[in-house]
């Protein structure tokens, strides 16, 4: 029997995450926020590592521990108390001073701009490497491995590896694109994979990051950076097109492409410091028009970039990673780009996915270009809970006597029957899904035919902004009834938005955008989640509708629930009436 070969991926930044590979395949991957209840928890993922230990992770035998950064980002280095690093420590005081001054005075001053740029250059040339080495040593001690097994990986390489090796094009020639706010001084990279050999064709500096620009717009609109960008995307559809186009003409110069290097991004000025410019030049503009114009700018530039890359490389299968690709509306536009045959966007491709990409890098480094890495399939990589654990949770919460608790003989059919009666049901079943999208196992489910369901769920639990749509899970075999998908793309992870058919507007109105009628579907393939597929099929048999409304199971401001304890807490502190815990149904009188 061959010796087990394990590789660990570890990310301690925004939304700290750990991933365990065994023989090149993802065995488990969880974000620390699920255990702490703190959304986008950063720092050392101790409880996530505790979960991986239940899958056999052993520091004594793991081949390597791979970190999702080469140099420690300045946002971490200047944040007082952030995991042991304090502003001014290790020579970061100049960086901090330039960063703060630039935020106050803006970039219209050449002197300020020069100081900010000099402080960033100074930090990355002299301090970032040292801080990263110190961080790696500290993490080695906490994980329990000797420093020689720690590896620091370039941030965008991790995004690229997750995108390609996770894709169905794994092993084929493909174009690999990464695009995010910032990582190891870059915002994007362009790679080709031909005959198993990787080649980097282009890299763009973070000063030209359209992801940073979109983040500042999110802040300008009164929302949270690195968290509420999806709200800007949802709001954008409500803006009137003539007003959007008028504002867009004033913004187009902000970000584009280098005339000498057509696959590299360029910008009018350093976009790290874009907020003061935006505050000055967008004063008096309607909030929905601002959202619409920057969404249009992102979509237009993304399509242009992808078409440039396809034309330059001749490759028509595209793999995408990095936080900007969390924008499903832009992905939907990109999917229709000229020359693009097929596209794969890694699920939850923000920095939580870096843990997986760094682990792929560790596996590949040890085995060379011929390393066998199977494409991902179902991404239910978190914990599952058995009958004894659910019974114990029910006892701890003292549920019996206050609520009705019964065992379901056929959980999928009985939940489908409740949905057919227009009841809303929270579901916790099987292993927890990885990432930001609920894929049926930690979901709130409802009949998609009634738009008023959105209001009911918001009042009961979600408290989302009025303009935000919910998503839907569609049987793969019924997708053509509801989605306009001329290229026949498969989207099982809710990473692409599609236009919808007239039948969808009639039958599943609650699960599509109420204004532009687009949908962010989870196409449910039976082999990827047999239990959830059967639930929707039972619902289809009862109603003739082959889709259900699906939104994440969490209280507003909290991460998606982990297990029965968190599910019962959310149930008790909300207006939900029904909770399905595996084969237990809890209901309020």
Q: Is the pLDDT of residue 207 over 60?
A: yes
449/447 Cα distance (integer angstroms): 6
The structure tokens 């559809």 sit at 237
Q: Is the pLDDT of residue 82 over 60?
A: no
309/121 Cα distance (integer angstroms): 29
Q: Is the pLDDT of residue 13 over 70?
A: yes
Average pLDDT of the residues in 397-417 = 96
The whole-number pLDDT of residue 553 equals: 97
pLDDT band at residue 145 using 50, 70 and 90 as cut-offs: very high
Q: Is the pLDDT of residue 88 over 60?
A: no
Instruction: Enumerate the β-bridge partners of residue 519.
Output: 498
Average pLDDT of the residues in 23-45 = 95
Q: Is the pLDDT of residue 176 over 70?
A: yes
Which of 24-33, 187-196, 457-466 comes out lowest in average pLDDT?
457-466
Q: Is the pLDDT of residue 91 over 60?
A: no
pLDDT band at residue 92 using 50, 70 and 90 as cut-offs: very low
Average pLDDT of the residues in 227-254 = 96
Average pLDDT of the residues in 451-461 = 82
Name which of 306, 288, 295, 304 is nearest 330 in CA terms: 295
The whole-number pLDDT of residue 3 equals: 61
Domains (ranges, CATH) in the chain?
A: 1-68+153-166+350-376 (3.30.420.40), 167-345 (3.30.420.40), 387-587 (3.90.870.20)
Instruction: Enumerate the β-bridge partners of residue 306.
Output: none
Instruction: Enumerate the β-bridge partners of residue 266.
Output: 256
SS3 string of 62-122?
CCCEEECCCCCCHHHHCCCCECCECCCHHHCHHHHHHHHHHHHHCCCCHHHHHHHHHHHHH
Q: Is the pLDDT of residue 451 over 60?
A: yes
Average pLDDT of the residues in 502-515 = 95
pLDDT band at residue 482 using 50, 70 and 90 as cut-offs: very high
Average pLDDT of the residues in 224-243 = 94
Residue that wins the pLDDT comparison between 124 and 6: 6
Answer yes or no: are the C-beta atoms of 289 and 243 closer than 8 Å: yes
Query: From the centroid of its chain, how far is CA 61?
Result: 31
Q: Is the pLDDT of residue 255 over 80?
A: yes
480/163 Cα distance (integer angstroms): 26
Which of 233-247, 287-301, 358-372 comes out lowest in average pLDDT?
358-372
Which of 457-461, 518-522, 573-577 comes out lowest in average pLDDT?
457-461
The whole-number pLDDT of residue 511 equals: 96
- List pLDDT tens digits, range 562-572: 999 999 999 99
Which of 80-89, 216-225, 252-261 comes out lowest in average pLDDT?
80-89
Average pLDDT of the residues in 4-30 = 94
The whole-number pLDDT of residue 547 equals: 98
Name which of 347, 349, 357, 320 is nearest 9 in CA terms: 357
510/482 Cα distance (integer angstroms): 13
pLDDT band at residue 134 using 50, 70 and 90 as cut-offs: confident
Average pLDDT of the residues in 24-52 = 96
Across the chain, mean pLDDT equals 91
The whole-number pLDDT of residue 1 equals: 33
Answer yes or no: are the C-beta atoms of 420 and 447 closer than 8 Å: yes
Average pLDDT of the residues in 203-213 = 96
Name which of 43, 50, 48 is nearest 31 in CA terms: 48
Average pLDDT of the residues in 195-205 = 96
Average pLDDT of the residues in 452-472 = 82
Query: Which tokens hold the place of 518?
Result: 């687009």
- List pLDDT tens digits, range 329-341: 999 999 999 999 9
Average pLDDT of the residues in 491-511 = 97
The whole-number pLDDT of residue 80 equals: 32
The whole-number pLDDT of residue 106 equals: 53
- List pLDDT tens digits, range 529-552: 999 999 999 999 999 999 999 999
Query: Which tokens hold the place of 220?
Result: 């300008």
In the chain, the percentage of residues whose pLDDT exceeds 90 is 79
CB-count burial class (<10 Å; 0-12, 13-18, 19+) for 474 = buried
Residue that wins the pLDDT comparison between 110 and 275: 275
Average pLDDT of the residues in 364-380 = 91
The whole-number pLDDT of residue 469 equals: 86
182/175 Cα distance (integer angstroms): 21
pLDDT band at residue 447 using 50, 70 and 90 as cut-offs: very high
């Amino acid at each position: 029997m061959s010796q087990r070969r394990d590789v660990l991926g570890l990310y301690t930044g925004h939304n700290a995450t750990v991933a365990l590979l065994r023989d090149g395949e993802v065995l488990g991957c969880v974000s620390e926020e699920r255990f702490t209840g703190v959304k986008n928890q950063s720092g050392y993922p101790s409880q996530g590592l505790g979960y991986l230990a239940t899958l056999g992770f052993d520091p004594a035998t793991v081949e390597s521990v791979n970190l999702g950064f080469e140099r420690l980002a300045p946002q971490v280095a200047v944040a007082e108390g952030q995991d042991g690093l304090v502003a001014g420590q290790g020579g970061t005081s100049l960086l901090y001073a330039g960063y703060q001054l630039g935020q106050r005075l803006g970039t219209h001053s050449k002197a300020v701009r020069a100081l900010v740029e000099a402080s960033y250059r100074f930090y990355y040339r002299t301090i970032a490497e040292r801080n990263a080495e110190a961080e790696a040593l500290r993490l080695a001690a906490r994980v329990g491995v000797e420093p020689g097994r720690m590896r620091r990986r370039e941030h965008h390489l991790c995004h690229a590896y997750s995108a390609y090796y996770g894709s169905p094009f794994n092993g084929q020639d493909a174009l690999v694109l990464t695009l995010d706010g910032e990582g190891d001084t870059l915002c994007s990279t362009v790679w080709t994979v031909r005959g198993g050999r990787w080649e980097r064709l282009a890299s763009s500096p973070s000063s030209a990051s359209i992801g940073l620009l979109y983040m500042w717009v999110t802040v300008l609109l009164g929302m949270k950076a690195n968290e509420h960008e999806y709200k800007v995307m949802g709001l954008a559809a409500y803006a009137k097109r003539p007003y959007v186009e008028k504002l867009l003409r004033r913004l187009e110069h902000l970000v584009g492409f280098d005339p000498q290097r057509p696959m590299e991004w360029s910008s009018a000025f350093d976009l790290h410091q874009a907020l003061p410019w935006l505050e000055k030049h967008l004063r008096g503009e309607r909030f929905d028009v601002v959202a619409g114009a920057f969404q249009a700018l992102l979509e237009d530039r993304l399509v242009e970039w992808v078409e440039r890359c396809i034309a330059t490389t001749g490759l028509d299968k595209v793999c995408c990673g990095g936080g900007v690709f969390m924008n499903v509306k832009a992905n939907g536009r990109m999917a229709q780009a000229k020359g693009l045959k097929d596209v794969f966007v890694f699920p939850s491709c923000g920095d939580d996915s870096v843990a997986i990409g760094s682990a792929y890098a560790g596996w590949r480094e040890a085995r060379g270009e011929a390393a066998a890495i199977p494409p991902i399939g179902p991404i239910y990589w978190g914990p599952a809970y058995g009958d004894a654990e659910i019974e114990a949770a029910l006892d701890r919460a003292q549920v019996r006597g206050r609520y009705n608790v019964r065992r379901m003989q056929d959980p999928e059919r009985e939940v489908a029957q409740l949905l057919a009666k227009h009841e809303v049901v929270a579901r916790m079943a099987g292993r927890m899904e990885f990432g930001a999208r609920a894929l049926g196992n930690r979901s709130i489910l409802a009949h998609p035919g009634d738009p008023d369901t959105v209001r009911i769920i918001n009042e009961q639990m979600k408290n989302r902004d009025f303009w935000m749509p919910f998503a839907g899970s569609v049987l793969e075999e019924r997708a053509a009834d509801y989605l306009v998908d001329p290229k026949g793309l498969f989207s099982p992870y809710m990473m692409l938005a599609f236009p919808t058919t007239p039948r969808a507007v009639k039958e599943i109105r609650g699960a599509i955008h109420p204004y532009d009628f687009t949908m962010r579907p989870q196409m449910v393939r039976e082999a990827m989640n047999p239990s959830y597929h059967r639930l929707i099929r039972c619902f289809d048999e009862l109603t003739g509708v082959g889709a259900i409304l699906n939104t994440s199971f969490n209280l507003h401001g909290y991460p998606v629930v982990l297990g029965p304890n968190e599910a019962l807490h959310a149930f008790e502190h909300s207006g939900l009436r029904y909770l399905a815990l595996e084969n237990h149904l809890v209901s309020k009188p």
